[in-house]
Amino acid sequence: MTELLLELFSEEIPARMQAGAARDLERLMVEALSDRGLLFEGIKAFSGPRRLTLAIAGLPAKQKDVREELKGPKVDAPAAAIDGFLKKTRLTREQLKVESTPKGDVYMALIEREGRDAAAVLAEIIPEVMGKLPWPKSMRWKPGVSTRWVRPLHSILATFDGEVVPFSFAGVSSGNHTRGHRFLSEGRIEARRFEDYEAALKKAHVILDTEERAAIIFEGVKSAAFVHGLELIPDEGLLAEVSGLAEWPVVYVGSIEDQFMEVPPEILQTSMRTHQKYFALRDPKTGRMANKFGLVANMIAADGGKEIVAGNERVLRARLSDAKFFWDEDRKRTLESRVHDLKGIVYYEEYTYWHKVDSIATKASIIAAEIGADPSKAKRASRLSKADLTSGLVGEFPELQGLMGRYFALNDKEEKEVADAIRDHYKPQGPSDGIPESDVGASVALADKLSTLYWLFHEGERPTGSKDPYALRRAALGVVRIILEKKYRFGLKWFLDLGWYGALTASTEGDKEKTESDLLEFIVDRLKVALKGKGIRHDLIDAVFSLGNEDDLVRLVTRVEALQAFLKTDDGKNLLAGYKRAANILKVEEKKDGRTYISEVDEKLLPESADKALHAALAKAVGAIGSALDREDFAGAMREMAALRGPVDSFFEAVKVNADDPKLRENRLHLLAGLRAALQRVADFSKIEG
Amino acid sequence: MPKAKTFQDLILTLQNYWARQGCLILQPYDNEMGAGTFHPATTLRALGPRPWNAAYVQPSRRPTDGRYGENPNRLQHYYQYQVILKPAPENVQELYLGSVREIGLDPNLHDIRFVEDDWESPTLGAAGLGWEVWCDGMEITQFTYFQQVGGFDCDPVSAEITYGLERLAMYVQNVEFVYDLAFNEQFRYGEVFHQSEVEFSAYNFERADTEMLFRHFKDAEKQCQELLSGNRKLALPAYDQCIKASHAFNLLQARGVISVTERAAYIGRVRALAQACCQAWLDSDMGKYTPRYG
């Protein structure tokens, strides 16, 4: 079987870029191969600290031959047109055939292209693909060569069916050799086929597959922990990163000095993780963090790792001394005493965190009153919510914001609910993060997010494409999730109207309206994204939302869910079809007549029983739907709508809307307008797709 | 057993090693600066087509890092060992590892790694890609391929290797408090520098005359601009003024008299000077010299 083996060997590739680069390499190669008509059976890409590798199996040795006829200009066409055709087909005029057509004689070109050797095509494709590889950041390194790579590229191994595919990229010529581990191997490795390559690398202390390296690390730390009666605190992100930092991962266990164990475990873990990339361990019985940590080296040391462990312990000691120092120092001041320091921390242009806290507090107490939480606690938690930003610890470990605030608040003897709210007000920080536990926490969280959204929208900041530097999407999604998961019953417009409380710049009424309507749209967009994951159709959200009177998110969702369930039933499908038919007829006729029909039905002019039945059904439904909606009995409202299906179907079967009698025609159009109006109470059916 | 037993051994070892690799062994620049990169032997020589290989110790001043001699490893004045290789040799990582072996860290006993860390100096308008080098989890070197200096593309690209000497010495000597380092067999680092750290911390944070510093900044900026105006541009003297402005700014920051918004503006002003100096350097002979008497 023909096989392509490609390895791009460079200086150390940033761990965070490796997996993406392997995916991009695979994708670009697949595109390039299919563009040239080269199909294959299997492809796999690998990445690691110093290499990207691609193996493609089952490529043909040659492209298929191509034979096609191309129609050209007329024989008497201007010379320029004929020359153009010759150029395009790379033929001479003598090689063209003439064919008669009803429009006259035209030139025909017969193009026969013999399939080229795959090796030759690959020699073109690979450097092209390498040039296109979208590194998040790349560099020049060779004098006079402007080609970029993530770090200096040292060698390219490229073989097809065992033979070198000859090309060069950034001044590096392809060959059939590579190198093993930086310290645990010597000299060059030759390889022509993937199997040999992978085995040779392993012998040279390089594990090619990231998954395999991750498994070695995971199992290694787990069993090392087990030896000490401990277990690993799982950390996917760290595992992925560490797998990209070692070609030959070796797990060692180090110890944390007792004096540091009184520091909150989150600080220890964060310090170990961010700076040193160590795995934290815990006691499986108590769940408490242990005074041991797992470290991953890229080295089997001659002394069994004694120096490595000792060195790492020393580095950790210095790190934790810093952390402990901050922890001890920070607690010497109360959070309250730090609030004024927030004046020195800029949030956005001239807005500081001091302004932000002020704005959060006003909003949070109003929200708390609305949702039945204690406004004074919400206010207190808001005031202290950002004070930990001025602490040494959060300066050092920004990801501990909120969490440290909680520790400091407890230390200051603030109420527990206040302390918890300080920790929770950043939630949810991502799709896997929960929402604040308490209503006080939720009030502060909503207020914080609202003030962020309102201020930045007011200043004209909007996320664009993948750029969202102020995490506005996350804030809006957080608002949606908190309201829905906590089932808070307030209108979104009421909520957004709180935005300008505590805003800095005096906004004009126009500014305020624009900000609020933009925000409303933005949040509804996030709502659609949030509900999409639950299989709820975005067009139905639009259909209900665009009624303009529904901004209670909890009710909106219940309503949409009821509607979606209804539309899945036969009654629902038929009624929707009936609605569309009615709406289309009305659209055409209203345009023709230059007027709008508004269900002013003349009861005396309903000649057919189908006319009468629909009229009666509508009269009943309008009231019944209305009262069901008032009761928030959406299933009931749907049942009332379902009752319309039979009369609507019979109506369309039995009567001709555009009757010859103009009075009757007008009356039937009014009848259809009645149907439109009745359904409109539930949702704007014209927005529903399908 | 490490070869570089004392702080000065470490310096001498690096000097000898890089001298053997063909580097000019230069001396520190006689202006206060925040890092070895500010030395004209790096900033200016990294620009233009001429090859350049140099190594030197540079005293580096970071006023805000002063800790009154109390912090185990933070100093407002410390030493960097700076190597600049232009163009970056193919085997520059190997050359670097040679220096690590030379100071007594055997890669067969330690875990040495290149971990992503790109470098950027907003005041110099400079940026590069590279790593911090870890030895058993400890950052011992900053390794950078310069891409831009003063806003100008570097071609050829230089490799810059910066060792934080105190940190490295602490690792080699197994010392936890920087002042305990053996400077040589007779003196401790603290005997040389502890008082200086205490006094300069007080100067940086409490006593430095801010009015004077603001004036110095303005004067240096004005002089720099003046030296770069007209027909006869003086790149090197102008660059001296740029360094002076930068240091005055660092001191003002330590004194806490520059607000966040002003900070960005000051950085922009220093960068504008640095860019103009780099431009003048590129327009000059860039150090070209033909022996006068053959």
CB A547 within 8 A of CB A684: yes
| Helix, strand and coil in chain B, % to nearest 5 | 45, 20, 35
Residue B106 in 3-state DSSP?
A: coil
pTM, to two decimals: 0.78
CB A147 within 8 A of CB A140: yes
CA A222 to CA A227: how far, in whole Å? 9
A154 lies in some domain: yes
**Which tokens is A628 given?**
């069901």
Helices (H), chain B: 7-20, 40-43, 92-102, 165-173, 189-202, 210-227, 235-254, 260-283
Tell whether A399 and A509 lie within a shared domain.
yes
What is residue A397's predicted lDDT score, i.e. its pLDDT? 86
CB B35 within 8 A of CB B58: yes
Tell whether A628 and A606 lie within a shared domain.
yes
Each residue's pLDDT tens digit, A467-523: 888 899 999 999 999 999 999 999 999 999 898 876 656 567 778 888 888 999 999
Number of A–B residue contacts, CB under 8 Å: 107
Tell whether A387 and A501 lie within a shared domain.
yes
Cβ A318–B176 below 8 Å, yes or no? Answer: yes
What is residue B1's predicted lDDT score, i.e. its pLDDT? 46
Nearest Cα neighbor of B28 from B40, B20, B19, B17 is B40
Last residue of a domain, one of A186, A203, A220: A203
Instruction: Give the confidence band of A601 by pLDDT, cuts at 50, 70, 90.
Output: confident
Provide mean pLDDT across the span A387-411: 93
CB B119 within 8 A of CB B127: yes
A553 lies in some domain: no
Last residue of a domain, one of A154, A177, A203: A203
Phi, psi of A377 (to 5 degrees): -70, -40
A340 lies in some domain: no
Q: Which residues pair with A351 in a beta bridge?
A: A348
With tokens 């390499």, the residue in question is A25
Using an 8 Å CB-CB cutoff, list chain A residues near B67. Answer: none
Mean pLDDT of chain B: 95
User: Residue A132: which H helix or E strand, with range?
Assistant: helix A118-132
CA A245 to CA A49: how far, in whole Å? 6
Tell whether A392 and A483 lie within a shared domain.
yes
Tell whether A310 and A359 lie within a shared domain.
no
A555 lies in some domain: no
CA A88 to CA A104: how far, in whole Å? 22
Return the CATH number at A451. Answer: 1.10.3210
B116 pLDDT more than 90: yes
Any residues with CB less than 8 A from the CB of A157 and at least 6 apart, and which? A5, A6, A7, A9, A174, A175, A176, A177, A178, A191, A197
Cβ A143–B138 below 8 Å, yes or no? Answer: no
Counting the structural domains of chain A, the total is 5
Kindly report the nearest CA distance between residue A224 and chain B, in angstroms: 19
Cβ B116–A311 below 8 Å, yes or no? Answer: no
Provide mean pLDDT across the span A656-680: 90
Tell whether A161 and A225 lie within a shared domain.
no
Among B73, B91, B95, B116, the strongest candidate for a mutation testing the A interface, having the largest count of A CBs within 10 A, is: B116
Q: Which amino acid is at A193?
A: R
Any residues with CB less than 8 A from the CB of A649 and at least 6 apart, and which? A574, A578
A241 pLDDT more than 70: yes
Tell whether A615 and A676 lie within a shared domain.
yes
Provide mean pLDDT across the span A410-422: 97
Give yes or no for B72 touching A (CB within 8 A): yes
Provide mean pLDDT across the span B115-132: 95
A557 lies in some domain: no
Phi, psi of A680 (to 5 degrees): -60, -20
What is residue A504's predicted lDDT score, i.e. its pLDDT? 58
Tell whether A379 and A263 lie within a shared domain.
no
**Which tokens is A100 given?**
């008669």
What is residue A532's predicted lDDT score, i.e. its pLDDT? 85
- Proportion of chain A above pLDDT 70, given as a percent: 99
Each residue's pLDDT tens digit, A59-77: 999 888 888 888 888 888 8
Provide mean pLDDT across the span B278-294: 95
Kindly report the nearest CA distance between residue A264 and chain B, in angstroms: 22
A465 pLDDT more than 70: yes
B275 pLDDT more than 60: yes
CA A194 to CA A53: how far, in whole Å? 10
User: Residue A200: which H helix or E strand, with range?
Assistant: helix A194-203
CA A448 to CA A497: how far, in whole Å? 14
Cβ B72–A16 below 8 Å, yes or no? Answer: no
Provide mean pLDDT across the span B99-112: 93
Q: Which residues numbered 151-180 in A keep a CB inside 8 Å of some CB on B?
A: 151-152, 154
Provide mean pLDDT across the span A218-239: 94
Beta-strand relationship, A279-282 and A289-297: antiparallel
Length in residues, chain A: 690
A7's torsion region: left (phi>0), alpha (psi -120 to 50) or beta?
Answer: beta
What is residue B211's predicted lDDT score, i.e. its pLDDT? 95
Cβ B73–A302 below 8 Å, yes or no? Answer: no
Provide mean pLDDT across the span B68-89: 95
CA A392 to CA A332: how far, in whole Å? 12
Return the CATH number at A624. Answer: 1.10.730.10
Tell whether A355 and A422 lie within a shared domain.
yes
Nearest Cα neighbor of A246 from B115, B27, B178 is B115
**Which tokens is A325 given?**
């120092």
Kindly report the nearest CA distance between residue A331 and chain B, in angstroms: 19
Give yes or no for B287 touching A (CB within 8 A): no
Torsion of CA A86, A89, A94, A97, to 10 degrees: -110
- CA distance readout (Å), A36 to A33, A61, A116, A117, B43: 5, 13, 10, 11, 48
**Which tokens is A531 given?**
């509900």
Cis peptide before A463, with omega less than 30 degrees from 0?
no
Residue B41 in 3-state DSSP?
A: helix
Last residue of a domain, one of A113, A141, A174: A113
Instruction: Give the confidence band of A3 by pLDDT, cuts at 50, 70, 90.
Output: very high
Instruction: Give the confidence band of B289 by pLDDT, cuts at 50, 70, 90.
Output: very high
Tell whether A498 and A646 lie within a shared domain.
no
A170 lies in some domain: yes
Give residue A274's domain range. Answer: 210-330
**Which tokens is B51 given?**
């090859």
CA B267 to CA B263: how far, in whole Å? 6
Q: Which residues pair with A74 in a beta bridge?
A: A106
Apex A648 CA angle, A646 and A649, nearest 5? 65
Tell whether A580 and A508 lie within a shared domain.
no
A404 pLDDT more than 70: yes
A549 lies in some domain: no
Instruction: Give the confidence band of A323 by pLDDT, cuts at 50, 70, 90.
Output: confident
Nearest Cα neighbor of A610 from A656, A659, A575, A665 is A656
Tell whether A369 and A470 lie within a shared domain.
yes
What is residue A507's predicted lDDT score, i.e. its pLDDT? 64
Instruction: Give the confidence band of B2 by pLDDT, cuts at 50, 70, 90.
Output: low
Each residue's pLDDT tens digit, B125-155: 999 999 999 999 999 999 999 999 999 999 9
Provide mean pLDDT across the span A121-132: 96
A584 lies in some domain: yes
Q: Which residues pair with B160 in a beta bridge?
A: B84, B144
Number of CB atoms found within 10 A of residue A451's CB? 29
Radius of gyration of chain B (CA): 19
What is residue B72's predicted lDDT score, i.e. its pLDDT? 87
A321 pLDDT more than 90: no
